[in-house]
Amino acid sequence: MKRNTVLLNILFVYSLHLFAVSPNSQSSVTLKIMTFNIENGGTQVSFQKVLEAIKKSGADIVGIQEPWGNTVRLATGLGWTYHHRKQHLISRFPMFTTQADQDLITYVEVRPKKYIAIANVHLPGSLYSPDLVKQGQSGTEIEKNEKAKRMSVAMPFIQRLSALAKQGVPSFLTGDFNSGSHLDWGAKEVGKLPNHRYALNWPITQTLQQLQFVDSYRQIHPNTIKEPGYTWPGGRPYLKNAVDGFNPSKNEVPERIDYVFSAGPAQVVNSQLIGEASSSLVQIKIDPWPSDHRAIVSEFQVIPAAYEHTRLYSTSTRMNISQKPTLEISRTKTSNKDEITISWDNAPGNRYDCLYIQAINNKQLEPICIYVNGQMKGSMTFNLKETQAGGLDCYGEPWYFPKTPGDYDVKLMLDDSYRVLAKKRFKLM
């Protein structure tokens, strides 16, 4: 943490070796874990209804998708102290991370010096496979698409959680996968559920099962025909002025794409679907429902693990709001033979804060979106002579720095939202 841009509410440091379940730690803890895509920051219908849904669920820990910078606001609205902007998690209990795990895993202290591990994901939505099934693609094509678009993003989280679970740590994965489940797409569902034209081995959920993860909702609700558990689309009201212009239509294919998975010493006790009052699928009803996704809350009996010999840092950081985010560019005029450095400071530190590079008077050029990986202060240097891709953009696609002469805006954007935190301009000669 640099200068006074970030103040730690609490900084606990433990000097230890590895996770271990101590002999006297076998008493179980009841824990409710929720996943909730609140859609565009949760403010389009009613932020209070988002809070009401979480309160009514009784959740102890919530993995949020699409918070759009509102992770801390959610925790505050619930009267909770603990949050992790870099992983979009909020909790009743203290949360920590390590230097190695800060982009992947959060450790939650559910009892004094006893922990569970959790990761939260929002996988890419491009080339959404249920739509591709509807368009007539084969099962082989769908599986190939899933591996290319979403599997590679999910695997670092899955592998780390799997390793912790094998060490006796209760481990959880929440998220909007934008992907179906092989448990819902077997032979018995073909022709009986919408869009189920063939059996399909969805790679992510199949891999999770092979690694001994449990799909909590399907564990409690095994009848896929009577209880399909669709989480998308949720039945929120039609919005005349939706931020992104989107409203789910009656033609959308329903699918279960939001999950709470568990591994290690955690037993599923219950799992409930949360959504609009008009749905017969929903167990916990909120009116009006505030999102295009329904939520899931699952209850577990867990045996938390003692944490031995590693360094833990509190995730509940507090920004110094007196200092506004800034953006600087090393050259305001440059050519294809130069290097250009874009630097930022006092960014909020959200998971999906990003740089957005956009041609001003050339609509044919696609904007470039690059995540800054939750860094509150940092820089990126671009060699304009380079012809190779600079990496993967916000959509998981290779990106290239612009080569076409013209004026460009560089914007520091808030957490996948449309809010501009800082802006600079440069001219490419």
The tokens for 337 are 């033979």
**Up-side HSE of residue 263: CA atoms within 13 Å toward CB?**
25
Ranges of the chain with pLDDT below 50: 1-18, 21-25
Phi, psi torsion values for 249, nearest 5 degrees: -105, 170
The tokens for 399 are 């990106």
Q: Which pLDDT tens digit goes with each residue over 153-210?
A: 999 999 999 999 999 999 999 999 999 999 999 999 999 999 999 999 999 999 999 9
User: Would you tell me the crossing angle of helices 203-210 and 139-146 to the nearest 10 degrees?
Assistant: 70
* pTM score: 0.92
Task: Report the pLDDT value the prediction gives residue 319, as an integer from 0 to 100.
Answer: 65
Residue 217: is it exposed, middle or buried by C-beta count within 10 angstroms (0-12/13-18/19+)? buried
What CATH superfamily is the domain 324-428?
Macroglobulin (MG2) domain (2.60.40.1930)
Q: Which DSSP category does 178 fall into?
A: S
Task: Report the pLDDT value the prediction gives residue 17, as an integer from 0 to 100.
Answer: 38
Cβ within 8 Å of residue 62, ≥6 positions away: 33, 34, 35, 36, 54, 74, 89, 90, 91, 174
Nearest to 177 by CA among 118, 243, 255, 250: 255
| C-alpha span between 1 and 7 (Å, rounded) | 8
Nearest to 5 by CA among 314, 342, 318: 318
What CATH superfamily is the domain 6-314?
Endonuclease/exonuclease/phosphatase (3.60.10.10)
Cβ within 8 Å of residue 24, ≥6 positions away: none
Domain with CATH 3.60.10.10 in the chain: 6-314
- DSSP per residue, 97-128: E-TTTTTT-EEEEEETTEEEEEEEEE---SS-
DSSP strands (E only) in 100-228: 106-111, 114-122, 171-176, 214-215
Strand order in the sheet with 89-91: 82-84, 89-91, 61-65, 29-37, 295-302, 266-276, 284-286
Q: Are strands 406-413 and 354-359 parallel, antiparallel or unpaired?
A: antiparallel
Task: Report the pLDDT value the prediction gives residue 81, as an integer from 0 to 100.
Answer: 94
Domain with CATH 2.60.40.1930 in the chain: 324-428
Task: Report the pLDDT value the prediction gives residue 1, as an integer from 0 to 100.
Answer: 28
